[in-house]
Amino acid sequence: MIEPWAVTVSAAGASATARAGVAREMEDWLAHGGHGVALVTCHRAELYGVGSMPHLGPAVALAGESAVAHLLRVACGLESVIVGEDEVLHQVRGALTQARLTESLEPRLQRLFELAIAAGRKARSRRTASSANLAQSAVAWLQLRASLAGRTVVVAGAGRMGAALAHSLDKVGADLIIASRDPARAVRLARVHAGRGVGLDEGADLSGGAAGVAVALGGPWIELAKAKSKDLPPIADISAPQAIPDAVRRRLNGSFLGIDDLYTQSRPLPGAYIEDARRLVALKTAEYMAYLGQPR
């Protein structure tokens, strides 16, 4: 029986910088002929495959039933900071879609991802109201430090997570300025929320007068270190790796939330969801292992 494997590193055991390094090693391995599915999220960098397995930095290697159960747990949100959050299921689905576009997937690996996606959907169909997502958690953290309703909040980033931040901030009544490396993209997102779209340099200059700043960028926000105003409001940065320069973060005097901080500041997990999802993971893991044992 040829079993799947997983090479995984998460925020629970490695810094954002270390995770980014492992993610680059995974990309290199795939680019040089390796076969597998890479899953890179805010909190984890993982590679799944069948056959030859690479050894990557500080990543942990799992094989067989352990690897299968791990992907199922990830898809069901059991490995997320916010249990049952939706973003990771989108990312699992996106990882499979990307792999299909770039290579011919090994059938056992494709079936594993399809099973994980189905399990993630089924688990969330019985989700409790206490589940949340990263953007909502970041906005809740900002609300503890400043009143946001009717006040300006800068969102740096206009991608999927930036849009989630904008949506959550709009719901609490904030006036939004969306900043992006692509100003046109910022304008499009800002229009949805009756806000203003600008480039990252202008967004950095406007941050000093804002009630808060929420960040979801794919690279460092170097413009913020050069901003005209040195007095900054609380900043929640859910980028991975962290987008806020260290020099800026140090002068915030604790008014900074990074992606890894959510591990210590998240709310208690909903017990009913966890128990249901664990049972589903065990059931689907057994189902997949039985499939592997069938004659080919």
**Tokens standing for 92?**
């699992």
Amino acid residing at 84? G
Q: How far is CA 45 from the centre of its chain?
A: 10
DSSP letter assigned to residue 179: E
Give DSSP secondary structure letters for 209-265: TSSEEEE--SS--HHHHT-S------EEE--SS--S-HHHHHTTTT-EEEGGGHHHH
User: What residues form DSSP beta bridges with 127?
Assistant: none
Count of alpha carbons within 13 angstroms of residue 12, beta-carbon side: 6
Q: How far is CA 92 from the centre of its chain?
A: 11
Q: Quick one: angle between helices 87-102 and 65-75, nearest 10?
A: 120
Give DSSP secondary structure letters for 36-92: -EEEE-SSEEEEEEES-----TTPEEEETHHHHHHHHHHHTTTTSSSTT-SHHHHHH
Q: In degrees, to the nearest 5, what angle opens at C-alpha 239 toward C-alphas 53 and 236?
A: 145
**What is the dihedral sign for C-alpha 278, 273, 276, 286?**
negative
Give the active site residues.
42
Terminal Cα-to-Cα distance of the chain (whole angstroms): 10
